[in-house]
Structure 1
Amino acid sequence: MRIFVTGSTGFVGSAVVKELLSAGHKVLGLTRSDAGIKQLENQGAEALHGTIEDLELLKKAASECDAVIHLAFVHDFADFAGSCATDRAAITAMGSVLAEAGGDRALVITSGTMLLPRGKLGDEDDAPDMTNPMSAARGPSEQVCLDFAKQGVRASVVRLPPTTHGLGFSGFMGPFVTVALQKGVAAYLGEGENRWCAGHRDDAARIFRLAAEKATPGSIFHAVGEEGVPTKEIAIAVGKQLDIPVVSIPPEKAEEHFGWFWFGAVADNVASSAKTRERLGWTLEGAPLMEDIPAIVDFMKSQAA
């Protein structure tokens, strides 16, 4: 297959490109930078310079491919609603072209388990919690994608856990470690019983490939390896690696301590991937979060130096 990948040079996207190429697919990767072009070409992919705001470019690229894997997102939290609108427009542009082309075309988009109800073990068939402002803004992207299943597109959604990890920024782990470096303590809230589900980016990359290859139209998948890791355990592991104290912070002081990342610090996001494993024959190969934390911490230290 020839597959168009947006966000192709990102933390997860670069792993997806590697996975696709290893499986014998051809990749057309969207990138905003000259460095991204070089990265893609070095991997053996074809590079396309542009952004997801350029809808005509997206349409042309999608029309020339058998599948689209959409990972790019404008991370502008000052205008999150605007970023989500851009996301929906991009999905609509690419999906409409695939629908018009006909045949066995696939559209795979990226979402997140953070959109699910707080504190409840969520599965693939659960809908986003639309009472949550973040979910209300981004959740509609899922339905925009899945609606293309009614038009003959093999449309599917991959929900990433907030702690999608590996050597690099690793989702929530990046800002969590950054705050620990700045404050000189590794903190958790209250008893530290709130949890983050987690998954290795290489395992996530395989889900994107499998979804492009054989997803049933209208499917949702969870790239979750661990259903929920308590934040206290995460703080202890980070504190050990940084050789700093591990402390409990009162929940009401979350924003004071964690700044903009307070929403992640208070999150209790647990999710299952049982249906994903059954539907795709997906198995876990990547390391669990605790094994990756030393490398993640060292990476974040190098970025702060």
Structure 2
Amino acid sequence: MHIFMTGASGWIGSAVVPELLAAGHQVRGIARSAMSAARLRAAGVDVVEADLDNLDVLGAQAERADAVLHLANKHDWSNPAESNRAERASVQTFLTALEGSGKPFLLAAGTARPIGRPLTELDDNPFSAADSPRGGSEGLAMSYADRGVRAVSLRFAPTVHGTGGDHGFISLIARAARERGASAYVGDGTNRWTAVNRLDAARLVALALARAEAGTAVHAVAEEAVTSRSIAEAVGAALGVPVISVPAEGAVEHFGWIGNFFALDMPASAQLTRERFGWEPTHPSLAEDIAAGAYTV
């Protein structure tokens, strides 16, 4: 297939590209900078110089592709409304271009949703309005599953970890530990996160592209319930700093904006995903990557 991809040079996307090429696909990806373009060309990707705001380009590329894989997001934590707006607009552009074609459209979403029990693939996302998190893009995409689009939601764990340059949530937790001289968790630290190695996640994306049915939610989750205390202990051991508890009211002071997020209880199951796709994670766990030094600098 000829696949048009956003986020091909990103943390997850750069691991997905080799999986797609190995499966015999051709990949065309957007690049916002000369550096990103050079990396993509070196990886064997045809480059389209654009960003998520170039909606005409996105629509035209979707129309000529056999499938669209949307992994990019502005991730502007200082202005989430702008990130949500851009996400909504780009996803709507893709869906309009693909409507009635039967082509696959896979988009990045997340399992970071505290619902009082493990989130499953059968749980609908209640956030569908334009001003919802991620612009309600998952719900929007799923609404096209019966409109001739093979829409598939790729729900990634909030921690997609690995070696070689992760700038995500765990890197922020580790940075706070370095700056504060202590690795912390919130309260009693029993709240749960999910995690997946980026290489395992990349393999699952390729499987979902090949086999996921329209309207399917896919959970890229290898570890379904990692406690925040165990994360803090792993970071503390890797950095050689003490491990402490901070009260909920002091979370933002210690961690920055991610403090309140780190305190949430967000377990998620990947049982159906494993059964549907025969997916079994084989790469290092979060604790193993932390111990190997992935977040010490």
Into which bin does the TM-score normalised by the smaller protein fall? over 0.9
Identity %: 40
1:50 aligns with 2:50: yes
Question: 110, 114, 117: which one pairs with 2:114?
Answer: 117
Alpha-carbon distance in structure 1 between the residues aligned to 2:222 and 2:234: 18
Q: Which moved more, 1:52-61 or 1:276-285?
A: 276-285
Alpha-carbon distance in structure 2 between the residues aligned to 1:74 and 1:219: 24
- Normalised TM-score (structure 1): 0.91
1:152 corresponding residue in structure 2: 148
2:158 corresponding residue in structure 1: 162
2:176 corresponding residue in structure 1: 179
1:14 corresponding residue in structure 2: 14
Partner of 1:149: helix, strand, or coil? Answer: coil
1:222 aligns with 2:219: yes
Alpha-carbon distance in structure 2 between the residues aligned to 1:257 and 1:75: 22
1:294 corresponding residue in structure 2: 291
Aligned residues, how many?
296
CA contact (8 A) 2:186 2:251 kept: yes
Greater helix proportion: 1
* CA offsets 1:104-140 (integer angstroms, 9 cap, x no match): 41000011111x234421101113365xx99933362
Which sections of structure 2, spanning at least 5 residues, go unmatched? none
Judged with a 3 Å threshold, the aligned counterparts in structure 2 of structure 1 residues 267 and 129 are, in CA distance, closer, same or farther, namely farther
Alpha-carbon distance in structure 2 between the residues aligned to 1:231 and 1:139: 28
1:140 aligns with 2:153: no
Alpha-carbon distance in structure 2 between the residues aligned to 1:270 and 1:139: 23
2:37 corresponding residue in structure 1: 37
Partner of 2:214: helix, strand, or coil? Answer: coil
Partner of 2:218: helix, strand, or coil? Answer: strand
State the Cα distance separating 1:23 from its structure 2 match.
1.4
State the Cα distance separating 1:299 from its structure 2 match.
4.4
State the Cα distance separating 1:280 from its structure 2 match.
2.1
Which sections of structure 1, spanning at least 5 residues, go unmatched? none
1:231 corresponding residue in structure 2: 228
Judged with a 3 Å threshold, the aligned counterparts in structure 2 of structure 1 residues 135 and 220 are, in CA distance, closer, same or farther, namely farther
Runs (4+) of structure 1 exceeding 4 A deviation are none
Alpha-carbon distance in structure 2 between the residues aligned to 1:16 and 1:7: 10
